[in-house]
């Protein structure tokens, strides 16, 4: 059984349905409950059970509620995909501390809260997959101090939780750094920005496909990656080596 946060749109939907195809029942968390219902129907159409739980990951109680409900309703918790996240692109000299903190609260503190809530419900063999970003490893021409800091911090969190939990609890913790995928976040980019990145930074010359992200999630969630923990997989078409 898998928990997927940020499951109301984009890569979260792709991951949730891919996990269902791989045989998982799925507990879906996000703030937009109406959109979660659509994802739940997509999971159920694949023959798996799904529950939708309105979840704001900045609320530790809501994270605990999602994890506990997932176990109560679906029987166990094997996988967490920490996918909830927000972005900002504000020049640092104009970015308020409140704006900065809001991004970090969702992308880093929220992932910590969700990971600890899920780990309390997991048995040996559990897998936590944190969705970071290539912006946690490099820059891409936008003023993204808060987003960059939160995603880089998530890689450090991944390593530390792996160190704490893999030997003691038997729970693996790994991270994915996606590159450019068409999502609601990229819809907010300035006109021409993505095209410029495709030309200058992406060796494959195209954006990633949702199923390519989802396949990496399934790999890290399951036994094929059983000897991996504290690792970061980059799925970016070559951005980070340009």
Active site residues: 147
Q: Are strands 232-235 and 172-178 parallel, antiparallel or unpaired?
A: parallel
**Other residues' Cβ atoms within 10 Å of the Cβ of residue 145:** 17
Euclidean distance between CA atoms 198 and 217, whole angstroms = 23
Q: Dihedral sign, CA of 138, 14, 80, 150?
A: positive
What is the token pair recorded at 71?
Answer: 């176990």
Exposure of 227 by Cβ count < 10 A (0-12 exposed, 13-18 middle, 19+ buried)? Answer: exposed
Euclidean distance between CA atoms 169 and 188, whole angstroms = 40
What kind and span of H or E run contains 129? strand 122-131
Q: Are strands 172-178 and 122-131 parallel, antiparallel or unpaired?
A: parallel
Q: Could you tell me if residue 75 is left (phi over 0), alpha (psi between -120 and 50 degrees) or otherwise beta?
A: left
Residue 70, C-beta contacts closer than 8 angstroms, at least 6 positions apart: 1, 3, 27, 51, 53, 77, 121
């Amino acid at each position: 059984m898998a928990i997927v946060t940020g499951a109301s749109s984009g890569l979260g939907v792709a991951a949730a349905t891919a996990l269902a195809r791989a045989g998982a029942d799925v507990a879906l968390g996000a703030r937009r409950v109406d959109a979660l219902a659509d994802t739940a129907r997509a999971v159920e159409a694949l023959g798996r059970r799904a529950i939708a739980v309105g979840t704001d990951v900045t609320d530790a109680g809501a994270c605990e509620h999602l994890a506990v409900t997932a176990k109560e309703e679906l029987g166990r918790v094997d996988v967490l995909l920490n996918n909830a996240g927000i972005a900002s692109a504000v020049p640092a000299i104009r970015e308020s501390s409140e704006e900065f903190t809001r991004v970090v609260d969702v992308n880093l503190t929220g992932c910590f809260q969700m990971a600890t809530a899920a780990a309390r419900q997991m048995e040996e063999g559990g897998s936590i997959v944190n969705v970071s970003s290539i912006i946690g490893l490099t820059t891409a021409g936008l003023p993204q101090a808060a987003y960059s800091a939160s995603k880089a911090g998530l890689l450090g969190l991944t390593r530390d939780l792996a160190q704490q939990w893999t030997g003691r609890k038997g729970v693996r913790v790994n991270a994915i750094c996606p590159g450019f995928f068409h999502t609601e976040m990229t819809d907010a980019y300035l006109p021409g920005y993505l095209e410029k990145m495709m030309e200058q930074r992406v060796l494959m010359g195209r954006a990633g496909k949702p199923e390519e992200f989802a396949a990496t999630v399934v790999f890290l969630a399951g036994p094929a990656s059983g000897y991996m923990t504290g690792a970061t997989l980059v799925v970016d078409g070559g951005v980070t080596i340009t």
